[in-house]
Structure 1
């Protein structure tokens, strides 16, 4: 019987933090959880909930990591070794006092103020967990940061971060059957390299900046090509290269995305990723999204209006990019390993130099003057 149970396992009902807290409570040492004889009596502060002061001391109400709120305790300031959490607590407190038109910190906070501070701390903690999840999920070099200093809205519900298209039922991606044999795709392209084989010119310069006009397709080298991963004709497939921040906008536009690094003109920034569905299914979902007041449907109509990308519930960071009639991102159709021209990858390139800290935007109804009709996207 024991042999049959050798590889048997079940998920633990306790979180990693709860297991660590349990070890400390029971004074157990665990290398995997980071609990040793030296630190078994150290408890981690998750966030600060409240504040009061006497003539002699200042006290903070502490939410301990891994313990329920019923275990919160008042601790003197001298016992706490969490300067960053304390600084953030006082920044939130100052903001809340200004909102109530008060300047001095009272000896004891009223319930309304302490409740808001607790909600902000919980929000920040949930956003940090979501940020960590996004960075564990991403397969691109660029990191993702999340911040909300506007309201108490937390991570979006019913949204899954994906790195590549998810193909819907009945849709098949046709893989590229051949690749180039170039030794130097940019300087000495054999038969025009992959773009030339499709009767188009190389889309990038030696710095990886796009040099073809919007509406012209981009053909990158694929998995069957002889060139190495550093080939200058491999840009979009390398993924997001910049650190980006999902942030809550202050003017009611929901979440947005800003770059944390300078981006040069004509540089690849991100792909528009989601679930590939048929236009009939997109029509059905569109009616539902219209009633909800938002939609993330992007028509793939480069040659035929057959497929649509739906990024409503499955997508990457482009899900959070807002619309602008004067955008700093431009849409391009890109083909890499898939030869079906009805299923291009949608890449967003910078239209100009973009400063660090600037919000990224594209026109949801951007016209691209493709071979058949204009490519359009609708997202609210």
Structure 2
């Protein structure tokens, strides 16, 4: 089957424009075949290549379905490589926007990723909150995933039913409940609570224009004097501060953005270097998929056109095509000072076309 898929991909190589999506879909299927053949590392690389092309084209066409297909394939590859937490992040981040068979794909990915981490009770309980409408062809896979979770709990004699299964002809599923509010997890056991301070503007992570914040808070507001340029698709964004310090080396930055962002804004102190790009389309795409609200980079970026197609805030000093080093040098979640403002974990940053401001936690 893989040889047939390779032939089809070769035949579609000449396509351009929106017709190129046919080849990308074939490559996504190829990633699934590679997983089935026990070649997950190659499958991950193939899915990542598809996502890279999609990142460059999604600003001109709607490719969300193909994007979710590729993400599901990448998640399966990650599970096969025992990188279950990364797979869980993909499933949880994209289930809310999935529809039809994609709900089933991501639902299965969540089950496998939880069981792979030994979290079998969650694997059995969590999917009920999504109430997916199972396609009949997925019933066997769900039954197997449920059996794996039960086996992990030592419940070998339990009756196995596909988690969340109901026939397509049955009554409509109940509406999904809204997410329960709660604090965001932070390093070192700290938490960031979204709370109201006095009677003024809500100090939560809801983006507020920086000029409005200044009108309300005046000089109590910390204003960054660095003149950043906008590159991302979100021109107004906000979130709890996370930080990374790295000079012309983005390995640590890349590792951090492949973890759940939970709505945070990553402030990157790259020393203002114009020599190398700390962020390109792949790293920014990972930040979008993992739930980061935005990036504020005291340094340079590349793939600037593709960055504009992401649902992610990206501010930086400028662009340069040269890649950064990969040694992993730097520090995470230490205070960094940029433009006369010190950014600390626990603060809230708001950014828009007028600038960057910080509300102290």
Please report the TM-score for the alignment, with normalisation by the length of structure 2: 0.22
**More helix as a share of residues:** 2
Higher CA-based Rg: 1
Q: Which has the higher strand share?
A: 1
Q: TM-score, normalised by structure 1?
A: 0.21
